[in-house]
Structure 1
Amino acid sequence: MFADYSWSELGSIFAMQGFAGLVLFSVLLLMALGLAIIFGQMGVINMAHGEFMILGAYVTYLCSNFFQAFAPALMGISFFIAMALAFVASGALGMGVERYLIRYLYKRPLDTLLATWGLSLIMQQSFRTIFGPREVGVTLPDWMMGSMPVTDMVEIPINGLIVMAITLLITFMVYLIMFRSRWGAQVRAVVQNRTMAGAVGIDTERVDCVTFGLGCGIAGIAGSAFTMIGSTGPSAGQLYIVDTFLVVVFGGAASLLGTVASAFTISQAQSTLEFFLSGSMAKVLTLLTVVAIIMLRPQGLFVLKVRR
């Protein structure tokens, strides 16, 4: 597999595939952060998580078209405005879904799986009806285009650097919200003992609603980031949902550090293997490796220690 390349060529290949893996890591991590909040903290299997990502991508697409047509002078900051709107749109829809659907299905994981799977099909068809079956692309500001040369053979796309910077910022904010804020303490209290949390005055229904909305909102941000590296279609979210669940389960459903480590490991493995093998074979080998590790360590890479 490596015999046809010189050492310098292999170094350049690993460098470029490593950076491509970092871009994939950024999207997977944003998706997994939202899913880890919903699945890890609430125990809800949200099969429509990919569609919340695509909702954010379509909001970014609409904003791009709007600024191009009516406010071209603001194109330089249009992407960040679109990202904020994507978070609001996905988060608001997520809160509505929790209030009118998920709330009646807690403690019934199979029912939440079936209900959110049906929701994903409804959202896919809605996207297909509104935007058409073809994939669409977002026009990025000029300053986000191009690449930065590192060596004669290695160049780093500027939009990839921006995606990674956004991911680092969102990850740090999620850490502050979940582990350094009063609201995060309320979320953990509800997860550990809902009855006692309600007894001390915590509005458990409000915590559930906002938590689900936050997870879906982060998926919307992932959709905005996704538009920088790929085109958007009605069913594009299904391409990422399996990898996202894999990241969350492999890292440990309630562990932020585990989610980060798992997303990095899986993205780097897939990116490197895809260059030397086919894309499907890379996924198969990655999946087999992860399954083997989970068989030996079913709680994931990292597990939170709690008092029972």
Structure 2
Amino acid sequence: MFGDYSIGDLGSIFVMQGFAGLILFSVYVLMALGLAIIFGQMGVINMAHGEFMILGAYVTWMTSNFFQSYLPSLFSGYFFLAMILAFVASGALGMLVEWVLIRHLYKRPLDTLLATWGLSLMLQQAYRSVFGAREVGVELPQWMLGSLHVTDSIEVPINGVFVMCLTVLITLGVAYVMYKSRWGRQVRAVVQNRIMAGAVGINTEKVDRYTYGLGCGIAGIAGSAFTMIGSTGPTSGQLYIVDTFLVVVFGGAASLLGTIASAFSISQTQSTLEFFMSGSMAKVLTLLAVVGILMLRPQGLFALKVRK
């Protein structure tokens, strides 16, 4: 597999694929952060998580078109507003879904799996009816185009660097909210002992709703980032949902550090293997490696101890 390349070529390949893996890592982290909050904190298997991501992508696409048509002078900064709107739209839809559907299914994980799978099909059809079956692409501002020349043989795209910086900021924000804010302490209290949290005056239903909304809102931001590296279609979210669940389970449910470490490991392994073999074979080998590790450590890389 490596015999046809010189040492210098292999070094350049590993660096380029490593950076490509970092871009994939960024999307995985943004997707997995929201899913880890919903699955890890609430025990809800949200199979519609990819559709919340695609909602954020479509909101970004509509915002891009609006600025191009009506505010071309401000087009260079449209993405920042689009990201906020994507968070609000996906988060609001998530809170509505929690109130209408999910709150009736707590402690019934298989039922939440089937219900959210049905929801994902409904959202896919809704996107197909509203936006059409064809994939759409977002026009990037001029300052996001091009690449940075690291060496003569290594270039990194500017939009990829932006996505990674965005991921770092969102991750730090989520960490602050979950571990430093009053609301984050309430969430962790509900996870560790729901009955006692309710006994001391915490509105557990409200915490659940806002937690679900936050997880879906982060998925919307992931959708905004996704528009920079791929086209958006009604079923695009399903391409990432399995990998995202794999990241969350491998890292350890409810563990922010585990989610980041898992996303980095899986994205780098998959990106490097894809250069030397087919994409499907790279996914198979990555999955086999993860399954093997989970057989030795079923609780994931970083397990959170909770009081039952």
Q: TM-score, normalised by structure 1?
A: 0.99
| Structure 1 residue 79, shift from structure 2 partner | 0.6
Residue 28 of structure 1 corresponds to 28
Instruction: Tell me the SS of whatever aligns to 2:148.
Output: strand
Which amino acid counterpart does residue 204 of structure 1 have in structure 2? T
Residue 45 of structure 1 corresponds to 45
Residue 166 of structure 2 corresponds to 166
Unaligned runs of 5+ in 2: none
Q: Aligned partners of 2:192 and 2:258: how far apart in 1?
A: 19
Residue 269 of structure 1 corresponds to 269
Alpha carbons 2:191, 2:306 under 8 Å: kept? no
Instruction: Tell me the SS of whatever aligns to 1:156.
Output: strand
Q: Aligned partners of 1:135 and 1:13: how far apart in 2?
A: 30
| Structure 1 residue 307, shift from structure 2 partner | 5.1
Within 5 Å, which residues of 2 pair with 1:136-151? 136-151=136-151
Instruction: Tell me the SS of whatever aligns to 2:35.
Output: helix
Residue 299 of structure 1 corresponds to 299
Instruction: Tell me the SS of whatever aligns to 1:135.
Output: coil
Q: Aligned partners of 1:9 and 1:249: how far apart in 2?
A: 35
Unaligned runs of 5+ in 1: none
| Structure 1 residue 143, shift from structure 2 partner | 0.4
Residue 2 of structure 1 corresponds to 2
Equivalent pairs, count: 308
Alpha carbons 2:253, 2:304 under 8 Å: kept? no
Which amino acid counterpart does residue 278 of structure 1 have in structure 2? S
Which amino acid counterpart does residue 144 of structure 1 have in structure 2? M
Q: Aligned partners of 2:307 and 2:125: how far apart in 1?
A: 45
Q: Aligned partners of 2:305 and 2:96: how far apart in 1?
A: 33
Cα displacement string for residues 230-262 of structure 1 (whole angstroms, at most 9, x for unaligned residues): 000100000000000000000001111100000
Instruction: Tell me the SS of whatever aligns to 2:46.
Output: coil
| Structure 1 residue 305, shift from structure 2 partner | 3.1
Residue 133 of structure 2 corresponds to 133
Residue 93 of structure 2 corresponds to 93
Q: Over the residues paired in the alignment, what is the CA RMSD in angstroms?
A: 0.7
Cα displacement string for residues 169-200 of structure 1 (whole angstroms, at most 9, x for unaligned residues): 00000000001111111001111221111111
Q: Aligned partners of 2:83 and 2:76: how far apart in 1?
A: 13
Q: Aligned partners of 2:307 and 2:56: how far apart in 1?
A: 38
Which amino acid counterpart does residue 5 of structure 1 have in structure 2? Y
Which amino acid counterpart does residue 19 of structure 1 have in structure 2? F
| Structure 1 residue 2, shift from structure 2 partner | 0.5
Q: Aligned partners of 2:71 and 2:232: how far apart in 1?
A: 23
| Structure 1 residue 306, shift from structure 2 partner | 4.0
Residue 241 of structure 1 corresponds to 241
Residue 70 of structure 1 corresponds to 70
Within 5 Å, which residues of 2 pair with 1:283-294? 283-294=283-294
Q: Aligned partners of 1:95 and 1:230: how far apart in 2?
A: 27
Residue 153 of structure 1 corresponds to 153
Instruction: Tell me the SS of whatever aligns to 2:299.
Output: coil
Q: Aligned partners of 1:245 and 1:85: how far apart in 2?
A: 25
| Structure 1 residue 221, shift from structure 2 partner | 0.2
Residue 226 of structure 1 corresponds to 226
Instruction: Tell me the SS of whatever aligns to 1:148.
Output: strand
Which amino acid counterpart does residue 264 of structure 1 have in structure 2? F
Q: TM-score, normalised by structure 2?
A: 0.99
List, as ranges, runs of 4+ consecutive aligned residues in structure 1 with deviation greater than 6 Å: none
Q: Aligned partners of 1:84 and 1:126: how far apart in 2?
A: 22
Which amino acid counterpart does residue 195 of structure 1 have in structure 2? I
Q: Aligned partners of 1:303 and 1:114: how far apart in 2?
A: 26
> Identity of counterpart residues, as a percentage?
77
Which amino acid counterpart does residue 302 of structure 1 have in structure 2? F
